[in-house]
Amino acid sequence: MSAPLVHIEICNAVAVVSLDRPEKHHALSRQLIADLAQAIDDLHGERRVRAVVLRSTGDTFCAGLDLAEMQALDESETAAAERHRDAQSLGELYEKMLRFPKPLIAAVQGPAIAAGAGLAMACDMVVASQRASLSFPETRRGIVGGVVAPLLVFRAGAGPAGYLLLSGREADASTAARFGLFHEIVLPERLLERAVALADDAARGAPEAVQLTKRMLNETIGEHLSTLFSAGAAASATARTTESAAEGLRAFLEKRQPKWP
């Protein structure tokens, strides 16, 4: 059995959930997605926990989906069904985070890329280091960020979402804050301390009031997100069947510029 890729520490009313795949920059493999979903389920029923901080170690918050795993899947006989299943799993993880009844605070210390940026946006609040950034380079890989796009529109609006998704440019911490995607920017050495302090603040609210507030924000105002995640999963899976996707993934793994068909 593989070692867990997510670890939980609980101190008073706050749980700190740490992604633990630093050698791959916390790229979202199937196991990491499953382990994070399980951690959220475990904390759902943990009565002493009133708020949760999501963090990772090293210089990168999360490098997005595991592209090596993605390319290996494309060579399997059941690739079509598994592509769609993988995209659905990512959407289900985001939805689980949005429906989680306790405040989630992301502590972003470095680049949060594509689906990894989605993890931050699925949290209720984001504290970022001055070295943090967001980027959505899917089109440069010949693929479509169909699952993360609805979250980006929900959090930032259609204008910033179009700018980031279509340009593929990296948004530094100040730009991400201007778009409303980062809520506080702090010195790198104060990141975890500030995220835990914000979690402590959130934990002081009445649990039922906090839960109802999250439901109002994410399920009432964001009532179409579940449908959009499903549609986005289908779009992502379809895009993966193209020659452009195959070339984009090869080029990325071979560290060269793609030659689009």
Active site residues: 138
Bridge-based pairing of strands 14-19 and 51-56 is parallel
The CA distances from residue 209 to 95, 100, 197, 206, 220, in Å, are 20, 14, 20, 5, 15
Q: What is the number of helices (H) and of strands (E) in the chain?
A: 11, 9
Contacts of 189 (CB under 8 A, 6+ apart): none
Structure tokens at 56: 């990772």
Could you give the count of Cα atoms lying within 13 Å of 228 in the half-sphere of its Cβ? 17
The residue type of 158 is A
User: What number of CA atoms fall less than 13 Å from residue 1's CA on the CB side?
Assistant: 4
Q: Residue 129: which of 202, 192, 63 has the closest Cα?
A: 192
Of the candidates 150, 64, 50, 151, the one whose C-alpha atom is nearest the C-alpha of residue 104 is 50
Residue with token string 């306790």: 102
In whole angstroms, give the CA distance from residue 201 to residue 174.
24
CB of 230 within 8 A of CB of 48? Answer: no
For residue 184 the two structure tokens come to 């506080």
- Give the integer Cα–Cα distance in Å for 81 and 90: 15
